[in-house]
Amino acid sequence: MKTVRVVVVGAGVIGFSTAVCVAEALPFCSVTVLAEKFSPDTTSDGAAGILFAAQFPDISVERQRRWFKDSFDHLRAIAQSQQSPEAGPFFSSRYQIFKDVPADPKPYWSDLVIGFRLMTDRELERFPGYKFGQAFTTVKCECSSYLPWLEKRFRKAGGKVQQRKVSSLHDLSDSYDLIINCSGLGSRTLTDDPQVYPVRGQVLKVEAPWLQHFIRDGDGKTYIYPGIHGVTVGDISGCSYLFRLFTLYCYRIVCKCKYFHNLMLFFALKQRKKFEGNSRFFAKFKIFFFFT
């Protein structure tokens, strides 16, 4: 049988996940990942990597449910396997809070995550101005571990890796039979698609081991996500209560940092792009502050 030459453009979480699937499932394919940047320099490396479901009005709920279930079950299987410490996915629990009761208090993904329930009044007392909340456990997948783990799997399946910038997808058509575009924000120029654009926000990655639970505003714009390699706190909205809480946490964190040598406060200005008005992807811009 003739070998099918496949190229995946992009080495972020989408590119490597796709490349691993093709290389492992279709051994008659020769798969190459071609990218300008690899871990730790992709947008995926900057992501908190927590798994939540958004709701897109022009895609059927059934389809969104299937997407979310597939992703959740895939990451859950890794999180509860012995591979979890090397691969990155682990379970993360607690609160999504709302200022008003949402239209769908029990959303389509509620039976797909673990232990979904509504928050009690006593739990909500911690969040002045918030009237409603959901408590559940999801999976957090940190790409600083997950991408190297995927790359290892990819190479083991015979995959090849090449680092270079692609200026046009058409240029690859002589060398490959199938081109899979996973170039993230790079798609704006590679596919000449103005609907792919970044949106700015702020994200801090900090050392704060006393924070154990995620807290997320229901609109998804403000959040605190504890992880293995630090806590991600972010805001892409105005000055909400959560943002003030987040600032307070940061103040505590910075104060605490001063007592330790070489603790690093990582500040990332976050850019988000919207793709076809639906799916959201992010790019990042990082500034590092060192407290010694």
Ligand X SMILES: Cc1cc2nc3c(=O)[nH]c(=O)nc-3n(C[C@H](O)[C@H](O)[C@H](O)COP(=O)(O)OP(=O)(O)OC[C@H]3O[C@@H](n4cnc5c(N)ncnc54)[C@H](O)[C@@H]3O)c2cc1C
- Residues within the interface to ligand X (CB under 6 A): 9-15, 35-37, 42-44, 46-50, 165-166, 182-186, 190, 203, 268, 270, 281-284
Q: How far is the CB of 30 from ligand X (least distance, A)?
A: 19
In angstroms, rounded to a whole number, what is the distance separating the alpha carbons of residues 236 and 274? 14
Q: How far is the CB of 2 from ligand X (least distance, A)?
A: 27
Q: How far is the CB of 13 from ligand X (least distance, A)?
A: 5
Closest CB to ligand X among residues 71, 124: 71
Which pairs count as long-range contacts for 162-171, CB under 8 Å and 24+ apart, including other chains? 162/32, 162/33, 162/34, 162/35, 163/34, 163/35, 163/36, 163/37, 163/38, 164/34, 164/36, 165/36, 166/9, 166/34, 166/36, 166/190, 169/9
Closest CB to ligand X among residues 256, 286: 286
| CB neighbour class for 110 (10 Å; exposed up to 12, middle 13-18, buried from 19) | middle
**CA distances, 111 to each of 78, 95, 138, 178, 188 (Å):** 20, 16, 11, 37, 36
Q: How far is the CB of 277 from ligand X (least distance, A)?
A: 15
Q: How far is the CB of 82 from ligand X (least distance, A)?
A: 24
Q: How far is the CB of 204 from ligand X (least distance, A)?
A: 10
* Cis status of the peptide bond prior to 40, with omega within 30 of 0: yes
In angstroms, rounded to a whole number, what is the distance separating the alpha carbons of residues 148 and 143? 8
Residues 6+ apart with CB under 8 A from 112: 53, 65, 68, 69, 72
The residue number with the shortest CB distance to ligand X is: 186
Closest CB to ligand X among residues 37, 124: 37
Closest CB to ligand X among residues 124, 219: 219
Closest CB to ligand X among residues 47, 211: 47
Closest CB to ligand X among residues 98, 138: 138
Closest CB to ligand X among residues 87, 182: 182
Q: How far is the CB of 243 from ligand X (least distance, A)?
A: 15
Pair of tokens at residue 27? 């051994």
Q: Which of 189, 289, 208 is nearest to 248 (CA)?
A: 208
Closest CB to ligand X among residues 118, 221: 221
Q: How far is the CB of 121 from ligand X (least distance, A)?
A: 29
In angstroms, rounded to a whole number, what is the distance separating the alpha carbons of residues 98 and 291? 35
